[in-house]
């Protein structure tokens, strides 16, 4: 009874571990981490998946997300982005290989992956915990600028996004 509202050392420790644990999952990268993501080789990926928007870095989502997305291209965010095989298969494999849960994932990719629940297959990078965390200082009014428009328009502010480069020194925010 007398224990009901008392925070015991065990509670406190559990709390500290929970808080500490979750910040470990998504913390800012060290300065030497250039925020470079591996991209599929050749031109196929940028040609096919970079024509309507940024050719997103595969390492931003786990393989299960890409598999689902690549299986539903006929109804892709309201657009028909269908691709015929073998091209579709080729891109799917490249995405899976370089995904956030791939065997060659960088430290940053692992961190992105750790913030995505294991039972979820998010289809939007812009809705992942890491994306929100890393962009929390970008004011809402900035996203609405004409040359940006949507959170998914990475290349508007990260001009080298199609090369998988997101480093802070290369960020250019359009002024209107």
Residue ranges that bind ligand HEC, judged by CB under 6 A: 29, 35, 48-49, 51-53, 56, 60, 69, 73, 76-77, 79, 81, 83, 91, 124-126, 134-135, 137-138, 142-143, 148, 150, 152-154, 156-158, 166-168, 171, 173
- Cα distances (Å, whole numbers) of residue 106 to 5, 89, 115, 146, 156: 44, 24, 15, 34, 24
**Minimum distance from residue 107 beta carbon to ligand HEC (Å):** 12
79 alpha carbon, distance to own chain's centre = 21
Is the Cβ of residue 19 or residue 89 nearer to ligand HEC in the bound state? 89
Q: How far, in Å, CA of 105 to CA of 101, rounded?
A: 6
**Minimum distance from residue 65 beta carbon to ligand HEC (Å):** 8
Is the Cβ of residue 35 or residue 39 nearer to ligand HEC in the bound state? 35
**Minimum distance from residue 24 beta carbon to ligand HEC (Å):** 16
Query: Contact 92/67 with Cβ under 8 angstroms?
Result: yes
The SS3 assignment for 36 reads: strand
Query: Contact 164/38 with Cβ under 8 angstroms?
Result: yes
Is the Cβ of residue 53 or residue 160 nearer to ligand HEC in the bound state? 53
């Amino acid at each position: 009874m007398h224990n009901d509202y008392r925070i015991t050392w065990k509670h406190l420790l559990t709390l500290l571990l929970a808080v500490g644990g979750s910040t470990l999952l998504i913390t800012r990268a060290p300065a030497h981490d250039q925020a470079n993501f591996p991209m599929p080789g050749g031109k196929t990926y940028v040609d096919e998946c970079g024509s309507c928007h940024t050719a997103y870095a595969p390492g931003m989502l786990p393989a299960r997300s890409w598999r689902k997305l690549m299986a539903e291209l006929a109804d892709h965010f309201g657009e028909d982005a269908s691709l015929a095989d073998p091209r579709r298969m080729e891109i799917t494999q490249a995405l899976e290989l370089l995904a956030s849960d791939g065997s060659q994932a960088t430290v940053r990719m692992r961190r992105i992956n750790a913030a995505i629940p294991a039972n979820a297959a998010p289809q939007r990078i812009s809705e992942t915990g890491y994306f929100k965390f890393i962009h929390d200082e970008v004011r809402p009014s900035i996203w609405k600028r004409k040359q940006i428009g949507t959170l998914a328009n990475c290349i508007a502010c990260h001009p080298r996004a199609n090369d998988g480069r997101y480093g802070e020194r290369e960020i250019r925010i359009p002024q209107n």
